[in-house]
Structure 1
Amino acid sequence: MSDAAPLPPRPDAASALASARRIVVKIGSSLLIDPATRRVTVDWLAALAAELAALRQNGREVIVVSSGSIALGRGALGRSGAGDIGARLEDKQAAAAVGQSLLMAAWQAAFQPHDLIVGQVLLTRDDTERRRRWLNGRATVEALLAHGVIPVVNENDTVATEEIRYGDNDRLAARTAQLARADLLVLLSDVDGLYTADPRRDPAAAHLPLIEALTPDILAMGGGANAQAGVGTGGMATKLAAAQIARSAGCATLIASGQTLAPLSAVRDGARATLIDAPNGPMAAYKQWIAGSLAPAGELRLDDGAVAALRAGKSLLPAGVTAVSGAFEKGDCVRLSDASGAAVGVGLVAYPADEAARIRGRRSEEIESLLGYRGAAVLIHRDDLVLDER
């Protein structure tokens, strides 16, 4: 008899959904909008909202990424006698300006029976690719979740130009999952996952329930036979590209059919779907990014008490900083050193260099009087900190 420990069970879609604590759910226009009437599919949206409310009731945190503003705007303008909206960028922006309020009203109405409120978060690509704006966006999402609000994220189509657009909400959803440090990204689609070939054309096409590595062969399946899967501006290729982004942040991706009235319940009950696993959790991936991808723009010298507090898992308070050097901005990476100059670690700082210098050595309660506004109570939050090995 072998004494080897049994191998852990392989992950699957249902277990990933059951274990995730923070979930981003992306809904495309084809699921949300009736193509004939250009109105919201109210029954489907109500059923999904009930599922998301149940997740919240079970202690999960939920973020929605929702398409639909342009489609709703086109429909409203058409019904108003404004005429058909063309394909020019400014026409799409006009439709988005009209449709975004309708989209948010639909989501609020869907969550109203569950006593949940929604908060609108409009992003452009710069908001998730420029570090300071990324931190501001993350802080907003964290605050909404802390207040029990369901963030509803969409691209800011009214101002985004072709040069700064995501191009599809699959990528936007992945960047949102990265920003929010989500455990699971759910892409609801018109297909139930990835196949080795297009199942509509090839009866021998095999469904892939679990993908543990996004190899070139796997990516080719999305760009070839599955290229037409999905709707709107996305397809299977964009879903795999989104999964790459999410996976780099330690977030798994679930591709599932949204063409049932309760798609998340269907996955929970064993419906076919594709899980793209992530090797590390979101926090580990985030810490790796801080430690390995960012060049420090300055330095904070710490007293012995601050170093001991950091080693004990605490955040860095202004009181423990004895010196500030460098020309860094809020959100930049800075080096941390002890009283002798030895390296302690690196972290993303909550204040620019001039303000950090003004509050160093002072209590957090004094920050507002020193700077004229109430900022963060810490210079570097423990989540934004990576310590060197002792």
Structure 2
Amino acid sequence: MESVRVEKVALEAFCTSILAAHGASEAASVACARATTDASLRGVDTHGVRLIPSYVAWVKGGRLDTDADTHFRKVAPSMGILDGGGGFGHIASYRAVDEAVSLARETGIGAVAVHGSAHHGATGTYALYGASQGCVTFGFTHSAPGVVAHGGRHAFHGTNPIAFAMPLAGEEPMLLDMATSSIPLNRIYLRRDTGTALPEDVAVDRDGAMTTDAHAAQSLLPLGGVHYGYKGAGLAMMVELLCTVFTGSAAAVTLPAFADVSRGRPSPIGHFFLAIDGARFRGSAAFSDAGAAAVARLRACVALVGLDVMAPGDPEKREKAVRLVQGVPVDRATWDRLSILARDKGIGMPTLFQQQPHVPENADD
């Protein structure tokens, strides 16, 4: 499917303007546009700017509190709780990471549980944000059911992503950002927009039968598939516990579907962030140098013909380098939705690069 390409800074400003014009606060608009544009820049199109129209619909339907403010409370030397106030999950998550890093700088480790939040896009965005401040950072979030229980027929787990970012000497941090499902749920929606089939053995229809039809797909399998899905299901349960037991957030099975734009009240989603000041163990230089050396050893492994051995996050690093030069691709269906939102509020359209075929999306949370 064709896409348009937009320079990253212009795309972020455009998305910020759309959100603000449709009722989001200035702070929420900036945080949401920043997070989604970052995901698109890194090739994580499933959780990039294609989500902006959904967030606008949530604002209109009352699913996001546009006047929300975040509140942080320290509960122990290395622990705190952040109340997202029912607003955008992006602004709550950026602040939670800041608080976790601040705690880690005081005590060596910082754990922040977030409640009263909402969907925050790509969890890896916030792990990278913490790692860019020098701390090893973990991020977790639960979500509405979209993944069948292992051996089950109907959705029970969220996609419940796990993100881990490690500072490296001489380059951007290493990032592991993965769903505990076979693929991200947003990939179903993206494949619907792009008219492409799903991979084999990742999704089921309403009767629990395997399907590659994105329009028929109702739920995903846990990571590991039919035979080994207990691994993904176990990780999903771990994330569910971290994001509900510590936060007081609602169980996944009670949360509204992502596509439910008319909830009329905020959705009580929880996140959990952990920051570690790794320099406390061996010193700052030794810490980041050792991480870089470990990644270099991995990349030096002998590869199969036609393939590369890459560290977690390397495909996104490569894609970011390309998109910084060639512009960020936005699929035509998403661009049309953004254009309508902009036109309704008299917002000018950004200058486009030459149109290119759509770049396939990368896996993420």
TM-score (norm 1): 0.23
Relative contact order higher in (CA < 8 Å, ≥ 6 apart) = 2
